[in-house]
Structure 1
C-alpha cells in the first residue's frame, strides 16, 4: 500500500507515518516545516521529506491513500492535485477508523484526563504482555511511538479528541471512531474558537455517545455532573458503567490507594488522577484484565509525558511541569500538588497560551482556578495574542478574571525567567508548578532543574 502524508511533520501525523512504515506500507510525505522531535524520528526511518514545501508532482495516480493533516490548508497544492486525480483522501481519524474497523475499538474521550487514562490502559496492557493497537497523545515510557497498528491485534485503544478532523472535515475526531467501548472523563467547555457556546460543546459528547455501537459499553465519570447527565440521558442500546474517585490517603508525600487487598502506594497523585485511574480500571476489566492484575500493574505507572511530570527535586523543594491550560485542569492540578505537599509553599505559574485562554470572554472561566496556590503567577505574551489574531487581552482583564488580589502577572519572558531564578529555594520549602502548553516565551525547562 502506498500512502502519502500532507503535513507529515505534525505530532500525530509523523507517528502515524512511522506506524504505517513499520507495518510495511510505502510512506511518503511533505510539509513546509518539520520540527523536533518529528524531524529526527522521521529521518531515522528515511521518511523525512528531502525538501520543505508542497510539490504537486509527488501526487501520482498510483497512491492508494492520501492522509491530510490539520496543518494543511484547503488550497494546499498537493491536496488540489489529489482531488483532481480522484485519490482517496482521509483525515487522520478517518484513516485510523479504516485501520481498525474489524477490531474492538476502545475510545477514551473527555475534556481532560483522556491522555492519562489512555496511557494507564496501555501501561497495564504492556505490563501483562497483552498486545494491542493504539493511538495516544503523549510519548509513553516503554513505547517507541504514539501510534501502533497491526493486522493481528484484537483491540485498538484510541485517545478520542473532540477537536476537528481536518481542514475539509469539520467533525470532531472522536465522532469518527464508532467505539465498541467508550469512556467520558469530564466535560468542561474548551476549544471556543470551534465550539462558540457551552451547549454546542456539550452536544459533541452527546453525539459521541450515539456513535457507540449497539450493545457497546459506556464507562463514565459520575463525579462530573455534566457527564452524569449526558450519560444517563442517552437512550441508545448500550451498557453504562459509572465510576467515581476511589478512597486514598497521602502520607509523607506518598499517595496510598485503598484496594480490596489494603492500602497500596502509587506513583501518581491528585484526586483527578485517582479518578482517571478508576476509569482506566473499568476499561481494563472490560478488556479482560481482572481487578487484582490491574492494581499490580498500575502501581508502577509514573504518568504520561508533560502530565504532572517531576522535573527536579531535592530535600526541601520540588518542581513539576504540566500540560494543564483549561480552567478545570488548572484547578485540579494546583489542588493535587498542594495536597501532596501541604507543608511547602506552592508557587503555581500558569501560561495563557491557547486560543481559549487568550480570549477575553473566556477568561472569566478561570475564576478560582489558582486558589489552592500560596503564590499565583500568570504569564501571557501579547505577541501570541497578535499571532493568533485575537483581541488584545489587558492586565486588568486577567486580574479581574482570576479574582485574586495578590495575583502576579508577567507579559515579558525575561522578567518571568528572572522571577523564577530569584525564588528562595535555599531558604524556603517550595513546590514549583509550571502549567503550560507552551514554554513561557522561550523558557528552557532544563535550566529550571539547576534552581533546586
Structure 2
C-alpha cells in the first residue's frame, strides 16, 4: 500500500509512519517543521521529507490513502488536492481502526493514567512473550516504537485519547475505536478549548462507554464518582467490572504492594499509580495473563517516559519529571511524592503550558493542587499566553487560584533557572511537572546540580 502522511512529524504520526514502514507499506510524508526525536527517527528509515513545507505534487491518484495529522490546517494544500482527486483520507484513529477491524480491540480511556496503564499492560505482555499490536503515547523500555501493527496478532492495545481526531474530524479519537474490552480510569475536566463545559466533557465519556461492542466489557475505577455515574448510567449490554486501589505500604522510601503471596516491592509509587496498576491487572487477566504472572512482571515496571520519571539522584537528593498538567493529576503526583519521601523537603515546580492551564477562568481548578509540597513554584510564559491568543494572566490571578500564600511565581525562564540552580537540594525531592520545557531548561545541566 502507498500511504502519504500530511503532518508526518508529530509524535503519534511519525510513530504510525514507522510502524507502517516496518509492515512493508510505501510511506511518504510532508510537514512544515519537524523536531527531534521525530526528525532523526524518520531520517533513519528514509522517511524524512527532503524539504519542509506542503507540496501538492506529492498527492497523486495512485495513493491508497492519506493520513491527516492534527497539526495540519483544514485548508492545507495537500489536503485540498487529495479531496479534489478523491483519495481516501483517514484521521489517525480512523486508520488505526481500519487496521484493527478484525482484532480484539482493548482501549484504555480516562482523563489521566491512560498512558501509564497502557504501558503497564504492554510491559506485562512483553515480559511473558505475548505478541500484540499496540499504540501508546510514550516511549517504553524494550519497545522500538510507540505503534506496532501486524496482520497476525489477535489483540491490539490502544491508548484512548479524548482529544479531536483531525482538523476535519472533530470527534474525540476514542469514539472511533469501538472497543471489545475497555477501561475508564478517571474523569477530570480538561481540553476546555474543545469542551467548554464540564458537562460537555463528561458527555464524551458517555459516548465512549456506549461505543463498546455489545457483549464487551468496561473495567472502571470505582473510586472516581464521575466514572461510576457514567458507567452505571450506560444501558449498553456490556459487562461492568470495577477496580480500586490495592493495599500498599511504604517502608524506607520503597513501596510494597500487598499480594496473595505477601508484600512485594515495586518501582512505581503513589496512590494514583497503584490504582493504575489495579486497572492494568484486570485488563491483563481479560487478555489471558493470570494474577501470579502479572505480579511477577509488574515488579520490573519502571514507568512510562515522563510519567514520574527519575532524572537525577544524589546521596540525599532526587529529581523527577512528570507530564502532569491538569489540576487533578498535579495534586495526585505531588501527594504521591510527599507520601513516598515523608522525611524530605518536596519542591514542586509546575509549568502552566496548556491552553486550559493558561485560561484565567479555568485557573481556579488548581486550588490546593500544590498543597502537599513543602515549597511550591509556578512558571508560565506570558508569550505562551499571547501565542494561544488568550486573555492576559497575571501573577495575582495565579496566586489567588492556587490559594497558597507562599507560592513562588516565575514568568522569566532565566530567573526560574537561576532559582533552581541556586537551590540546595540536600535531603530534598525536586518534582518538575510540565508538558513543556520551562522555556528551554537544560535537564542535563540540572541533573548535575541535583546530584552534586
Q: How far has the Cα of 1:21 moved from its partner?
A: 0.4
The Cα of 1:424 is off from its aligned counterpart by 1.3
Task: Give the aligned partner of residue 194 of structure 1.
Answer: 194
Aligned length: 450
Displacement of 1:201:
0.1
Q: Using the alignment, how far apart are the partners of 1:430 and 1:419 within structure 2?
A: 15
Query: Unaligned 5+ residue runs, structure 1?
Result: none
1: CA distance, partners of 2:370 / 2:53: 43
Question: CA offsets per residue over residues 282-339 of structure 1, 9 Å max, x none?
Answer: 0000000000000000000000000000011122111101000000000000000000
Offset, 1:450: 0.5
Q: Does 1:393 align with 2:378?
A: no
Q: Deviations over 1:193-227 (max 9, x none)?
A: 00000000000000000000000010000010100
Give the superposition deviation at 1:448.
1.1
State the shift of 1:141 in Å.
Answer: 0.3
Shift of 1:414: 0.5
Structure-1 residue corresponding to 2:260: 260
Match of 2:306 in 1: 306
Structure 1 partner of 2:437 = 439
- 1:3-152 map, 5 Å: 3-152=3-152
State yes or no: 1:326 paired with 2:326: yes
What SS does the corresponding residue of 1:286 show, helix, strand or coil?
Answer: helix
Shift of 1:346: 0.4
What's the counterpart of residue 420 of structure 2? 420
Give the whole-Å Cα distance in 2 for the aligned partners of 1:440 and 1:78: 34
| 2:29 alignment partner, SS class | strand
Unaligned runs of 5+ in 2: none
The CA deviation string for residues 332-384 of structure 1, in whole angstroms up to 9 with x for no partner, is: 00000000100000000000000000000000000010000000000000000
Match of 1:449 in 2: 447
Deviation at 1:46, TM superposition (A): 0.5
Q: State the secondary structure of the residue aligned to 1:171.
A: strand
Distance apart, 1:233 and its partner CA? 1.0
Cα separation, 2, equivalents of 1:413 and 1:180: 46
d(CA) in 2 for partners of 1:237 and 1:185? 20
Q: Distance in 2 between matches of 1:319 and 1:89?
A: 44
The answer for the alignment partner of 1:208 in structure 2 is: 208
Separation in 2 of the partners of 1:22 and 1:135? 14
How far the C-alpha of 1:65 sits from its partner, in A, is 0.4
How far does residue 447 in structure 1 lie from its aligned partner after superposition?
1.1
Superimposed CA distance per residue, residues 108-152 of structure 1 (whole angstroms, 9 cap, x where no aligned partner): 000000000000000000000000000000000000000000000
* The 10-residue stretch of structure 1 (439-448 or 159-168) with the greater mean CA deviation from structure 2: 439-448
Structure 1 counterpart SS, 2:347: strand
Q: Distance in 1 between matches of 2:360 and 2:445?
A: 32
C-alpha displacement at 1:262, in angstroms? 0.4
Residue 168 of structure 2 is matched in structure 1 by 168
| SS state at 1:203 partner | helix
Structure 1 Cα separation of the partners of residues 320 and 331 of structure 2: 15
Match of 1:355 in 2: 355
Query: Helix, strand or coil for the counterpart of 2:218?
Result: strand
Aligned to 1:315: 315
Give distance in 2, aligned partners of 1:433 and 1:10.
27
- Per the TM alignment, residue 258 of structure 1 is displaced from its structure 2 partner at its CA by 0.2
RMSD in angstroms over aligned alpha carbons?
A: 0.5
Spell out, residue by residue over 1:79-107, the C-alpha distance to the aligned partner (whole angstroms, 9 max, x if none). 00000000100000000000000000000
Q: Determine the C-alpha separation between the residues in 1 that align with 2:289 and 2:229.
A: 29
Counterpart-to-counterpart distance in 2, 1:442 and 1:44? 26
Cα displacement string for residues 128-187 of structure 1 (whole angstroms, at most 9, x for unaligned residues): 000000000000000000000000000000000000000000000000000000000000
| Partners of 1:326 and 1:206 in 2: CA distance | 21
1:43-96 deviation digits (Å, cap 9, x = unpaired): 000000011110001100000000000011011010000000001000000000
Quick one: distance in 2 between partners of 1:137 and 1:211? 22
| Matches of 1:39 and 1:301, distance apart in 2 | 28
Q: After superposition, what is the alpha-carbon deviation per residue over 1:5-54, rounded to whole angstroms, capped at 9, x for unaligned?
A: 00000100000000000001010000110110000000000000011110
TM-score (normalizing by structure 2): 0.99
Partner-residue secondary structure (3-state), 1:179:
coil
